[in-house]
Chains A and B, each alone.
Chain A
Amino acid sequence: MFFNPTMKHKALRKAVRMFAETEIGPVARTIDREASFPWEVIKKMGPLDFFGLQTPKTFGGAEMDSISYAIVIEEISRVSAAIGLCLAVHNSLSIHPIVRWGTEEQKRQFLPDMVRGEKIGAFCMTEAGIGSDVGGVETNATLDGNDYILNGTKIFVTNGGVCGTAIVFATTDYQNPRQGAAMFIVDRETPGFIVGEKEDLCGMRANPVSSIFLENCRVPSRNMLGAPGEGVTVGMETLNVGRISIAAQALGIAQAAFEDSLSYSKDRQQFHRYLSSFQTIRNYLADMATDIDAGRLLLYRACAAQDSRNSFREEAAMAKLFCSEMARRVTDKAVQIHGGYGYSKEYGVERYFRDAKVTEIYEGTSEVQRMIISRELLARRV
């Protein structure tokens, strides 16, 4: 067992932090308040390989290990969770399934533009009637010659408003949706692929989370990822990988909330004493730091498991469950330490508090994570 970060991981964190603080920091509050996507920052991130973090070098990616990937998402999310989310969904939920299940032709066709950040990825699974219950998918894919015709409505699509390439979950069998479930790679320019209004959300406001309407959207059958019937497996395995990035995102938010609280407590005086001299506040800070450290260890363990073997479902679910709930606890305490100012948009912790909540909901709710973990536990022989 080896707990010290390597020189490489330390250097990576410094480099990403410098970029995030210099380039994203100055706009982070504004893009949240105005719910605007910062294209000018995103354009700078493309050439630095932020959109091909783990993609193989042969397709122009950086081919990073999983801990490095988590560090990048964590450090970006520490400054802007909404941009961290954009990267997490692009890299884990859009590029990853193409790399893992795509044909050579699909990889050559879709990956280069995505890796350069010219086409941002989106993952279209959720519908009005299905969230966690993916087997009930209603979006329909009907075979017509060499094409599938997609019809349905996807909601809460992260990156929806700005995506260039979408992974769409649909069923080829309306009677038995689970058996016919399939994933399709769909280019935004495809006729019948319609981006709806941006959702008005509590947090992650700089990410244009939108609905996607599929109206007789004709997609070549060669764009199917895996075989018909493999859609649920592809979706579940993709979300399994995605959990690492959401845990990293939650960790980054918590870290930011902690750092702000620590410096505020050394700055703010009440009763002619600094907040940091009150035992209650010290206890809060100690609990926050311990909570964050525990989350970080769980996350890096899940990453190490992903890098060294195929099965890391339990570790990833534990990391996602713990880090997201930890981020909610830590941001809550951060607001409390800041008092009335913490409830004001003038201070960062108000944003962290709103951003943290959704990490307990998307890419598998905390309840679903517990379901996954307990299923793994009970399946063991000993």
Chain B
Amino acid sequence: MLKLVVCIKQVPQVSELPWDPETWHLQRELAEGMMNPACRFALEAALKIRDKIGARITAVTMGPPSAEEALREAVALGADKGILLTDRKMAGADTYTTSLTLSKVIQKIIPDFDLILCGASTIDSDTAQVGPQLAEELDIPGVAYVHELTIAGNKARIRRVADGFSETIEMELPGLVTINTTSEAPRYMSFRGFQQAFGESDIITHDAASLGLHQEWIGARGSATKIRNVYSPIAERGNLVLTGTNKKILDQLFTLFDDRIGGVVGKDLKTEKN
């Protein structure tokens, strides 16, 4: 049977959180967590494949112990198994060490996977890097920003939409896709699924030691990214007041902005005017 792995992330439920002034990491513990929206779409894509041709779905997350909730939610929605990677040593990981850690657990626990599905990006850090980097770590083909996905034999037929164009790609399995939030809307969990996921189901927990990960490779210590400072951009907009007759104002406008206006309307305004 097809083996699918869905990587999910628990993100803060609120849109604005303060940064820790020491580490410049978001103070995620201040807000309730939820499953990252794009990860819900990735799980939905996996569930659609399972509904159609059958598959075994393993959900994986790395995070604090409370990320267990997002895994149970995945199980409630239909995943067969949840794996939680949690360890203080894994905290503060950048996208590189996150992909590395995920690749190690996948190689160890589900080495014979057929397809890995990730959300295209997360709403808290929005780098969109972990999925593609994970494909590199595992040395498998990867396609990002996937909109539609069908599996036939050992190939995935993929339509991806990015940067204003769409393309259809055939990818050999095993491979990796990152799913866009433009694909089909995720389902809701049933209460029977919920009861089973939050009652009887076991979540498998791993720490750095059980995965054989040296602490120099993971978490903040293994991360190449060092955050020096984080700040909100300051919106600086000046007001420009033009005075004079209509013609004079129009002339001033053209002098100041003709390139930009011309670019938008697709005409050379200087030539038009003359």
Contact = CB atoms under 8 A, between A and B. Distances in A.
Interface residues of A, number: 23
Interface stretch (B21-29, B176-184, B189-197, B253-261): B189-197
A50 B34 contact: no
B231 interface: no
Residue among B69, B76, B188, B199 with the most chain A CB within 10 A?
B188
Contact of A64 (B13, B69, B191): B191
Contacts of B13: 14
Contacts of A64: 191, 195
A315 B120 CA distance: 49
A7 to B, nearest CB: 5
B32 interface: yes
Given A14-B32, A14-B34, A15-B73, A8 B198 contact: yes
B189 A15 contact: yes
A48 B188 contact: yes
Interface string A50-61: 101100010011
A50 B198 contact: no
B73 A11 contact: yes
A53 B34 CA distance: 23
Nearest to A53: B191
Contacts of A312: none
Contacts of B190: 47-49, 62
A63 interface: yes
A161 to B, nearest CB: 26
A91 to B, nearest CB: 11
A63 B200 CA distance: 13
Given A14-B32, A47-B190, A63 B69 contact: no
Contact of B191 (A14, A18, A44, A50): A50
Contacts of B9: none
Contacts of A52: 191
A174 interface: no
Contacts of A108: none
Interface residues of B, number: 18
A36 B28 CA distance: 42
B198 A11 contact: yes
A15 B76 CA distance: 11
Nearest to A63: B195
A7 B66 CA distance: 8
A47 B156 CA distance: 30
Interface centre among A8, A10, A50, A64 (most CB of B within 10 A): A8
B94 interface: no
A57 B195 CA distance: 10
A48 B195 contact: no
A10 B69 contact: yes
Query: Could you say which of A19, A50, A62 has the most chain B C-beta atoms within 10 Å of its C-beta?
Result: A62
A49 B32 contact: no
B73 A48 contact: no
Contact of B194 (A18, A47, A61, A62): A62
A10 B194 contact: no
B198 A15 contact: no
B68 interface: yes
Contacts of B191: 48-50, 52-53, 62, 64, 72
13 contacts: A10-B32, A11-B69, A15-B73, A15-B188, A15-B189, A48-B188, A53-B191, A57-B192, A60-B192, A62-B192, A62-B195, A64-B191, A72-B191
Closest 3 CB pairs between A and B? A62-B191, A49-B191, A8-B198
